[in-house]
A and B are shown apart, each in its own frame.
Chain A
Amino acid sequence: MSSRRSRSRQSSGASRISDDQIADLVSRLQQLIPEIRNRRSDKVSASKVLQETCNYIRSLHREVDDLSDRLSELLESTDSDSAQAAIIRSLLM
């Protein structure tokens, strides 16, 4: 089995991207996605990982939209200078 692999690597020497590299990147991506993070990587196809990645990115975008909306409503009604100082302090300590 290993000899077959090295043969295919030699034959695809022209393309610098190996399947192993891609599989590694896909499994790293899987670790970032809460939906499929805990499933074994041999049980989740690369296609599924990509699909879940897209869904996750879309949900993060929606969260940013929602937070922007709520922040814009809050800004209408508050005077923010002291709040900002507190925020920066809490983030930096």
Chain B
Amino acid sequence: MTEESIAKLKVDGELSVAVVSDLHAYEEVGEARPSFYCIRDEFEETPLGALLPLFDKEALQADILVCPGDLGDKANPAAIREAWLRVHEIGDHLGVHLLAGTVGNHDIDSRYVHNDHDPKGHLQNLKPPFPLPEVDQNDRFWSRNYEIVLHDAYRLVVLNSSAFHGAGQDEFQHGRISNYTLDALKQRLHETENRPVNMLLCHHHPQKHMEINLGDYDDMRSGQLLTDLLGNGEFGEWIIIHGHKHHPKICYAQGGSSAPVVFSSGSLCHVLFDELNTVAQRQFYILRFPFAKYSSTGLVGTFRAWDYEFKYQWGRPTRKSGLPSRGGFGCREKPAVFAAQIAKWLGTRVVPWSEFVDEFPWYEYLLPQDQHALRTTLANEHSINVQSEEEMPVQIGAAS
């Protein structure tokens, strides 16, 4: 961690986290390619390399870069090595003070293709150290299946949901957090102070994620116990960032109103199988946590998403992308209540969107689906419409 970037974080009062997930880097050219990231291609012509011009164009920066697993495809050691190095390059360009990865099912050689006895040795020998920058952090990660990174502003749990791959017969089909790990984690959470931003990074989804027949066999076993633990109020408010499904989605975990936010990152590079193609694109994200105001708001935040388009370019998501170009999380107000407040304030006027946001700063911390629900309620119950341009609201007011 550089002194400078930590000082900056304090001044901003905001933590920003960039997400690159499920790179599925591969080496062999020839057969059907699993992703757009062949390590033999020019880096600039891969989705990962194409991020660099995007960073320049939009002056993007971040404090942390996380990579929730599946660096490589089918555990190809050379591809994983290259991808891990390149991910650091991305982190450097963003100016992050921490880069954290975790293990995906494709990172583990659970079918013993590349050797017959050590499914994860290539990960333990990666340089820079994997999944965290310090060797002793990683020692704990590999021995306990999780590690915690602490900072004034945040607490980051890096969990290995593929810890048992390579062992049991069908274990590699899904993720798992074992009861031992859960107990140990609970203990550690008690021992560490709650932070404004509490994040858990893992590969598998901690709750069912069954959209468009993606299957319901591959989730993190005992994931519900994990979300219950994080959402019980004792350990602050949480966001879980995971990969694996390649289906971008943001929602709250089951439970009460302090259940964790679950951010399912889309894949950065994957060739999307047919079912996915119409509802998901390759995406890159930056999440923002304005923690300076958390004493009055609790954990809220916003995200931005970009789509990988043809020809090595990143651009604005469309309706079929998974996550929209902007959205939020953390505000759990019911649309009906919110809509009534808005209607009262608005009367018969039409106002520019900026005026509305000044009055209702909460709006931007609604999940995309809650924003949609709110707009529907506004239209149906109060005859209030929102006019957007290029998917961004520009005006709100009483319908004509």
A binds B: no
By a beta-carbon cutoff of 8 Å, the part of chain A in contact with chain B is none
